[in-house]
């Protein structure tokens, strides 16, 4: 089967600064791909390019073999779920309101929406009795679960996660890692996860793509990257994060 | 059925053509003369309404030309100098010039209310000042002059030039307040009308115009040529019936009783005050008109200001222009804005004009708060809305406007409170409201009357504030009101 998303020779500049340079990337279906690298390496920019928040200067992108363009982007967005670091939940809507928003605007029936939300609560282990709460009344971990439910509401083909666990404390993060992995496996979900945390990448990713200064330096499994670093930077990146664990 | 409806319309139409609107300027004598004219018209069977204290000459003149009013009392000197700008025009010249504009003028009422300079008797005696030319030797004297006198073509500049007076010690003061300043010694010389009741009340000296600078200011009524014949006949009967002493007495009566109606009744010989309105009735009339003015203008400002704010929030040249223009409107003095609107055909002297002026003033807080409220929405939230595949309209209605609701409501609240205050100025163009007692109280130097307008206005502003605190709970989503 063809990859769900393909990037061919994508470049993006902000003013004179290079954000992404000549990137080729393919997202295989039913697989978690992890984009990793130091901050400012261009990993979040790639997510923003895929959902059309910014436009590429050069190169082509395809979603399910169809080109991503300004004409197709709105319909593609409905096939993509997106979760950002602080969740991006709308503070004026309850958890339920946030999750149901898209479906309601698409005129889905109330019954259908309700059933789907119950299903998502079970899937993301979010207590149904908290659905009437506003984001400000929820804990950080609960907010990310709501955000995940919102992203999954329309059963998207692609799930984009932009450092969704970065602001959470380690225990909550570990629980969410475990749940997310289970959810993705059960749904056979195609995922692109952005993180700077190598342990997270190791736990969740089947394919790890390491970036530096807007370029992809190496991609492969965790073991491949650790055992056969393509450049000294790869080795250094691994040592810096894993060294702390070993000492 | 149809026929009776037609008859009704016809009778209403004739009744309207036989009713007149009489305007007056913002000083006691003008109020009294207009009230005398109103009572004379009423007695002649013409329905007459008195729009009190509509600001200065230009506003009244434009209202007369535009048909906002039919009649108002004026002075020949003002007509020649200010309206026709023909210095030294004879009465026949004036008649002809007015005729061409479709305006008629009665013969004079019998007195000459010229401009004069007045001083405290004791101070004038001490310095040996009897005439205006005597002032030349005393550049230390402080002049407190009305703004109109300062700017008039027959006012301070040519007067001081003719007499060679120093122009250094001069301040602009409201007329009634000027008398208070003169009595307390804060100023030494002020401009006055020669029939002012205050001249006798405060025992002031009128300085002789020894070089005959001031033109004649004979009181007349100006009227539109198409005013009903019965009304014009009633006005003509008044000519030659009031001399200086009688006018001064009528002015004094108005200031003593705090009622123009009473003074006008003194003229016609009735002593009863049966026409007087009870205070509670007046208060109700003022407050309901005040709320109408502030409410209608605010509603208009919300309907127009919200979309403008949304456009302004997008920045760019258009956004900048919107904010700049609404900002500039805010800096126009309210009296000037009213004076600018009155000559415009559709507006004139009307409630409509007052509402439009208030509307223009309420725009800025609403536009600016809407724009800044929208601009303050964080990037992650904006992008979340985009990424969820919401259309531009859905994003605005479902996400951005609710998120900006607190700021938008604060802007509307600011406008509402300012509007309650500014609406008092509507009385200057005869639109009524709580400004009516404030302005007439100011002219009569009567604190009680001023407070009758000022206190309810302050209470209204407070009530509006409370009402909006309540509206916050309805319009600001609960999720934005609870603290974590």
Q: What is the pLDDT of residues A161-197, one digit of tens each?
A: 999 888 788 888 888 899 889 989 988 999 999 998 8
| DSSP β-bridge partners for residue B236 | none
Give the one of A74, A88, A134 whose C-beta lies nearest to B389's C-beta: A74
Q: Which helix (H) or strand (E) holds B405?
A: helix B405-422
Domains and CATH numbers, chain A: 30-79+157-247 (3.40.50.300), 91-154 (no CATH)
Give φ, ψ of A209 to 5 degrees.
-115, 115
Residue among A51, A84, A85, A90 with most chain B CBs within 10 A, to mutate: A90
Give the one of B389, B477, B482 whose C-beta lies nearest to A102's C-beta: B389
Q: What is the pLDDT of residue B10?
A: 39
Residue A137 at interface with chain B, using a CB cutoff of 8 Å? yes
Give the one of B387, B402, B477 whose C-beta lies nearest to A82's C-beta: B387
CA distances from B361 to B327, B330, B367, B368, B404 (A): 9, 6, 11, 12, 22
Interface size between A and B, measured as CB pairs under 8 A: 67
Q: How far is A242 from chain B (nearest CA, A)?
A: 31
Write the secondary structure of B178-191 as one string of H (helix), E (strand) and C (coil). Answer: HHHHHHHCCCCEEE
Q: How far is A45 from chain B (nearest CA, A)?
A: 13
Domains and CATH numbers, chain B: 19-112+217-268 (3.40.190.10), 115-206 (3.40.190.120), 279-481 (1.10.3720.10)
In this prediction, residue B484 has a pLDDT band, given cuts at 50, 70 and 90, of: low
Q: How far is B483 from chain A (nearest CA, A)?
A: 7
pLDDT of B275 > 50? The answer is no
- Which residue in chain A has the smallest CA separation from B381? A88
Beta-carbon contacts of A28 under 8 Å, excluding residues fewer than 6 positions away, are: A3, A4, A190, A207
Residue B328 at interface with chain A, using a CB cutoff of 8 Å? no
Q: How far is A155 from chain B (nearest CA, A)?
A: 13
Q: Would you call B44 helix, strand, or coil by DSSP?
A: coil
Strand A80-83 vs strand A158-162: parallel, antiparallel, or unpaired?
A: parallel
CB atoms within 10 A of CB B119: 22
pLDDT per position as a tens digit, B421-451: 889 888 877 778 898 888 877 766 678 888 9
Spatial contact of B26 and B55, defined as CB atoms under 8 Å apart: yes
Of chain A, the percentage scoring pLDDT greater than 70 comes to 98
Residue among B377, B388, B395, B480 with most chain A CBs within 10 A, to mutate: B388
| DSSP β-bridge partners for residue A66 | A63
Residue A130 at interface with chain B, using a CB cutoff of 8 Å? no
pLDDT per position as a tens digit, B287-304: 999 999 999 999 999 999
Q: What is the pLDDT of residue B353?
A: 85
Residue contact B383–A84, C-beta within 8 A: yes
CA A81/CA A100 separation, integer angstroms = 13
Question: With contacts defined as CB-CB under 8 Å, which chain B residues touch A137?
Answer: 482, 484
Residue B475 at interface with chain A, using a CB cutoff of 8 Å? no
Candidates B211, B101, B119, B96; CA nearest to B159 is B211
Candidates A191, A166, A186; CA nearest to A176 is A166
Q: How far is B474 from chain A (nearest CA, A)?
A: 13
Residue contact A134–B399, C-beta within 8 A: no
């Amino acid at each position: 089967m063809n990859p769900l998303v393909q990037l061919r020779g994508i470049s993006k500049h902000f003013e004179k600064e290079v954000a992404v340079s000549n990137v080729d990337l393919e997202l295989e279906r039913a697989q978690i791909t992890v984009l990793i690298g130091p901050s400012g390496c261009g990993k979040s920019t790639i997510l923003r390019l895929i959902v059309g928040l910014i436009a590429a200067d050069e190169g082509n992108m395809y979603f399910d073999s169809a080109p991503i363009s300004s004409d197709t982007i709105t319909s593609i967005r409905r096939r993509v779920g997106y979760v950002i670091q602080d969740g991006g939940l709308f503070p004026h809507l309850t958890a339920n309101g946030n999750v149901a928003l898209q479906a309601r605007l698409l005129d889905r029936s109330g019954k259908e929406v309700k059933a789907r939300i119950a299903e998502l609560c079970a899937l993301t282990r979010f207590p149904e009795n908290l659905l009437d709460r506003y984001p400000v009344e929820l804990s950080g971990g609960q907010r990310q679960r709501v955000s995940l439910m919102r992203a999954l509401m329309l059963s998207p083909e692609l799930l984009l996660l932009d450092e969704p666990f970065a602001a959470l404390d380690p225990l909550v993060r570990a629980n969410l890692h475990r749940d997310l992995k289970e959810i993705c496996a059960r749904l056979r979900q195609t995922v692109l996860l952005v993180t700077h945390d190598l342990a997270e990448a190791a736990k969740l990713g089947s394919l790890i793509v390491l970036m530096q200064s807007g370029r992809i330096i190496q991609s492969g499994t965790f073991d491949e990257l650790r055992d056969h670093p393509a450049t000294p930077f790869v080795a250094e990146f691994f040592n810096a994060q894993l060294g702390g664990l070993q000492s | 059925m149809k026929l009776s409806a037609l008859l009704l319309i016809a009778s209403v139409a004739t009744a309207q053509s036989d009713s007149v609107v009489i305007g007056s300027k913002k000083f006691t004598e003008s109020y009294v003369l207009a009230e005398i004219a109103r009572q004379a018209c009423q007695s002649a069977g013409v329905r007459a309404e008195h729009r009190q204290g509509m600001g200065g000459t230009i506003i009244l003149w434009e209202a007369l030309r535009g048909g906002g009013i039919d009649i108002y009392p004026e002075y020949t000197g003002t007509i020649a100098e200010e309206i026709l700008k023909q210095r030294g025009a004879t009465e026949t010249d004036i008649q002809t010039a007015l005729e061409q504009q479709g305006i008629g003028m009665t013969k004079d009422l019998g007195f000459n209310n010229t401009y004069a300079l007045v001083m405290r008797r004791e101070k004038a005696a001490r310095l040996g000042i009897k005439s205006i030319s005597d002032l030349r030797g005393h550049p230390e004297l402080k002049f407190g002059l009305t703004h109109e006198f300062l700017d008039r073509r027959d006012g301070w500049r040519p007067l001081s030039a003719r007499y060679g007076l120093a122009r250094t010690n001069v301040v602009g003061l409201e007329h009634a307040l000027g008398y208070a300043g003169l009595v307390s010694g804060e100023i030494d010389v002020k401009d006055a009308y020669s029939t002012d009741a205050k001249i006798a009340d405060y025992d002031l000296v009128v300085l002789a115009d020894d070089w005959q600078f001031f033109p004649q200011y004979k009181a007349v009524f100006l009227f539109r040529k198409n005013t009903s014949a019965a009304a014009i006949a009633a006005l003509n009967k008044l000519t030659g019936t009031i001399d200086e002493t009688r006018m001064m007495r009528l002015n004094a009566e108005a200031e003593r009783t705090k009622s123009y109606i009473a003074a006008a009744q003194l003229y016609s010989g009735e002593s009863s005050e049966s026409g007087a309105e009870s205070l509670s009735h007046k208060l109700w009339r003022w407050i309901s008109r005040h709320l109408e003015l502030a409410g209608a203008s605010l509603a208009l400002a919300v309907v127009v200001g919200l979309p403008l704010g949304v456009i302004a929030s997008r920045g760019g040249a258009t956004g900048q222009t919107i904010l700049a223009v609404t900002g500039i409107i805010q800096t126009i003095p309210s009296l000037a804005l009213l004076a600018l609107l009155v000559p415009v055909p559709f507006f004139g002297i009307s409630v409509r004009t007052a509402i439009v002026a208030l509307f223009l003033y309420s725009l800025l807080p609403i536009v600016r708060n809407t724009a800044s409220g929208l601009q303050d929405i964080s990037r992650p939230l904006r992008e979340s809305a985009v990424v969820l595949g919401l259309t531009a309209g859905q994003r605005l209605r479902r996400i951005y406007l609710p998120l900006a609701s607190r700021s938008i409501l604060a802007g509307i609240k600011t406008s509402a409170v300012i509007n309650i205050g500014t609406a008092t100025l509507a009385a200057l163009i005869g639109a009524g409201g709580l400004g009516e007692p404030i302005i007439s109280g100011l002219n009569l130097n009567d604190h009680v009357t001023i407070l009758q307008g000022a206190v309810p206005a302050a209470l209204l502003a407070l009530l509006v504030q409370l009402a909006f605190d309540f509206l916050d709970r309805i319009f600001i989503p609960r999720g934005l009101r609870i603290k974590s």
